[in-house]
Amino acid sequence: MGTADTANKDLTFSLAEKKPKVVFVLGGPGSGKGTQCAKIVQHFGYTHLSAGDLLRAEKNSGSENGIMIQNMMNEGKIVPSEVTIKLLQKAMVESGKDKFLIDGFPRNEENRAAFEAVTKIEPEFVLFFNCPEEELERRILNRNQGREDDNIETIRKRFKVFLESSLPVIEYYKAKGKVQEIDAAKPVEEVFEAVKVIFTPKVEESCWCRCVIL
């Protein structure tokens, strides 16, 4: 037990030293988070971490942690925040990078509070892809990925869960002036133009400052 605690403390210390820039990316199912994250990675050099992908990879690894995740999913239980946070911390440290898009996390207020308490990191901001439920339904039903959960009832349930769980997180950060909201109902390229406005000014400002100093 002591070894695991020490390893977790080491991860937290390594991250604290780096002072990484973290952006939480939230939006309903089908809001285009993955597509836009790929574009941000390409244009702005961020590292994209999907909480869901990390959990699935760990589950499939056959590790002790992975078996526990598999069992919890099989029983319909929610994986504890600390497990997801540890996977995120590990991925952040191992990447060697210092700018991260964390996609699909925190899913609820408990996730949010635990992330800040464990990592000692507050996000720079939350990138919120806001899209009407009707548009999300249309997109998911049309994307034809052969997923069993892409039916109208399941989509509506997932959207309801998103509203109940994730909106309080968005409201919390909005009160702190840390939400950048995007109209995600527009075409992909138009959405990315709006995203670029959010990420570009800081780059231009720093370049301008360097030019003035020079």
30 labeled part of a ligand binding site: yes
What is the full DSSP assignment across 106-119?
A: --SHHHHHHHHHHH
106 labeled part of a ligand binding site: yes
32 labeled part of a ligand binding site: yes
77 labeled part of a ligand binding site: yes
138 labeled part of a ligand binding site: no
CA distances from 84 to 3, 60, 87, 106, 143 (A): 19, 15, 5, 10, 28
35 labeled part of a ligand binding site: yes
182 labeled part of a ligand binding site: no
Residues 22 and 100 sit within 8 Å (Cβ to Cβ): yes
Residues 120 and 9 sit within 8 Å (Cβ to Cβ): no
156 labeled part of a ligand binding site: no
CA distances from 142 to 29, 39, 92, 130 (A): 13, 22, 34, 19
> In the structure encoding, which two tokens stand for residue 11, read together?
């991860």
Cα gap 141→174, rounded to integer Å: 31
- Burial of 24 per CB tally in 10 Å (0-12, 13-18, 19+): buried
90 labeled part of a ligand binding site: no
80 labeled part of a ligand binding site: no
62 labeled part of a ligand binding site: no
119 labeled part of a ligand binding site: no
Binding-site positions read 30-35, 56, 77-79, 104-107, 111, 143, 147, 158, 186
**Residue ranges of the binding site for a ribonucleoside 5'-phosphate:** 56, 77-79, 104-107, 147, 158
Annotated binding site for ATP: 30-35, 143, 186
Q: Which residues are annotated binding-site positions for CMP?
A: 111
